[in-house]
C-alpha cells in the first residue's frame, strides 16, 4: 500500500496544500527532512550531482521549499515549470501530508532528535524581530502567532519535547513534529524510490554518502567528482557561498549565514540537557517512534 494524505499541515510557516497543483516529472527529486537535520547540506550535494561536470548555480535559485508560505505558490510553481535541468525540491512535510508519486525519487534525512534540538535552538534564538513580524503577518496563515524564542534553552526544551503544534503530534512546538515526521517516512522505507540518509553518516563520510545518493539518483559521477562535491559541500564552503550570494539571510538570522551555518556537530546536548530532561525525551521518543526508528535516529546502524 502506498502512502496516503491524512493530514493538512497549515501554520505560520507551512501549507501542505501548496503541493495541490504540483505536476511531477519522471526524474524529479524531493528532499524531505523535519528541520535542522541536514536539509541544506543534502540540497547542496544533490545540486552538485545534478550539475556534475558543469558550473552549478546558487542553491536558492533552483531548489525551492514548496510548502513554505514565504513566496507566492504560483511563483514557485512557475519557477519549477520553467526549469529544464533535473528538478530537486525541498519539503519539510511529513509523509502523511505530502502527495506521493511513484516516479519521483525521495531522499529523507534523519538526525538524533537531541542534536536536532541543539541546532534548532541556535536557529530559533537567532531569528530577527523583523523576520518574526514577517511570518506573523503573512496572509492566509492558520493558527496563532509564532512566538519569539524564550530566553532560556531549558524552557524551550520543555515546550519542544512535550508539545506539538498540530494535534496529532506529541513534540516539536512551536515548529512541527520532528519525530512524527521521521516516523511517517520510516514506515515506508521499504519503497524503492525512498533513500534514507543519516546526518551522522554525512558527517563521518560525506563522500561515501554522496556516492550513495548518486547511485540512488542514477547519476554518473567518478571518484574525483565525488571528492570535489564533498569539498564543495563542507560547512565552510556552504557558509562562504551563502555570505556571497544571499545577503538577505541577515534579515532572517542575526549574523546571517554565520548563524544559519553554525556548528554542524553532534553531541552538544550531553553538556546541556539534565538527566530529568533526558528522561522526558525517552518518554516522548518511545511514544512517538517505533523502536527501530528511534534506534536508527540515535545512531544504531539499522539498514534503512
Taking the alpha carbons at both ends of the chain, their separation in whole angstroms is 18
Residue 143 has pLDDT above 60, yes or no: yes
The grid cell for 215 is 547511485
pLDDT bracket for residue 57 (50, 70, 90): confident
Helices (H), 23-177: 39-50, 59-62, 73-82, 113-125, 129-136, 153-162
CATH superfamily of 16-297: P-loop containing nucleotide triphosphate hydrolases (3.40.50.300)
In this predicted structure, what is the pLDDT of residue 231?
86
pLDDT bracket for residue 249 (50, 70, 90): low
Distances (CA, A) of 264 to 79, 108, 195, 224: 30, 18, 22, 25
Q: What residues have CB less than 8 Å from 278, skipping those under 6 apart?
A: 114
**Averaged pLDDT for residues 167-185:** 96
> Are the beta carbons of 86 and 127 closer than 8 angstroms?
no
Distance CA 126, CA 253 (A): 5
Region of poorest pLDDT, from 38-52, 119-133, 281-295: 119-133
Where exactly are the structural domains of the chain?
A: 16-297
pLDDT bracket for residue 2 (50, 70, 90): very high
In this predicted structure, what is the pLDDT of residue 116?
95
Residues assigned a catalytic role:
92
Residue 91, SS3?
Answer: strand
Q: What is the pLDDT of residues 208-231, one digit of tens each?
A: 999 999 999 999 999 999 999 998
Please indicate, yes or no, whether the overall pTM of this predicted structure exceeds 0.95.
Answer: no
In this predicted structure, what is the pLDDT of residue 126?
85
The grid cell for 294 is 528511534
Distance CA 298, CA 174 (A): 23
Amino acid at each position: 500500500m502506498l502512502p496516503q494524505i491524512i493530514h493538512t499541515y497549515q501554520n505560520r510557516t507551512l501549507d501542505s496544500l501548496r503541493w495541490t497543483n504540483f505536476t511531477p516529472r519522471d526524474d524529479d527529486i524531493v528532499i524531505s527532512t523535519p528541520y535542522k537535520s541536514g536539509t541544506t547540506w543534502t540540497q547542496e550535494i544533490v545540486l552538485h550531482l545534478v550539475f556534475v561536470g558543469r558550473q552549478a548555480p546558487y542553491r536558492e535559485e533552483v531548489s525551492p521549499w514548496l510548502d513554505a508560505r514565504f513566496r507566492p505558490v504560483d511563483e514557485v510553481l512557475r519557477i519549477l515549470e520553467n526549469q529544464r535541468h533535473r528538478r530537486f525540491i525541498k519539503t519539510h512535510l511529513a509523509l502523511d501530508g505530502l502527495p506521493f508519486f511513484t516516479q519521483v525519487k525521495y531522499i529523507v534525512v534523519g538526525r538524533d532528535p537531541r542534536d536536532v534540538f541543539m541546532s534548532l535552538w541556535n536557529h530559533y534564538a537567532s531569528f530577527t524581530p523583523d523576520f518574526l513580524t514577517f511570518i506573523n503577518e503573512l496572509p492566509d496563515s492558520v493558527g496563532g502567532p509564532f512566538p519569539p524564542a524564550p530566553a532560556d534553552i531549558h524552557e524551550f526544551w520543555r515546550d519542544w519535547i512535550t508539545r506539538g503544534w498540530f494535534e496529532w503530534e506529541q513534540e516539536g512546538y512551536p515548529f512541527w513534529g520532528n519525530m512524527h515526521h521521521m516516523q511517517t517516512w520510516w514506515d515506508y522505507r521499504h519503497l524503492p524510490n525512498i533513500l534514507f540518509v543519516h546526518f551522522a553518516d554525512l558527517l563521518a563520510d560525506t563522500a561515501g554518502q554522496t556516492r550513495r545518493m548518486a547511485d540512488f539518483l542514477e547519476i554518473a559521477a567518478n571518484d574525483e567528482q565525488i571528492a570535489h562535491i564533498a569539498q564543495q559541500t563542507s560547512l565552510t564552503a556552504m557558509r562562504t557561498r551563502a555570505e556571497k550570494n544571499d545577503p538577505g539571510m541577515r534579515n532572517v538570522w542575526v549574523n546571517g549565514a554565520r548563524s544559519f551555518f553554525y556548528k554542524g556537530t553532534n553531541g552538544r546536548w550531553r553538556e546541556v540537557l539534565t538527566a530529568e530532561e533526558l528522561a522526558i525525551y525517552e518518554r516522548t521518543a518511545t511514544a512517538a517512534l517505533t523502536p527501530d526508528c528511534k534506534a536508527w535516529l540515535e545512531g544504531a546502524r539499522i539498514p534503512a
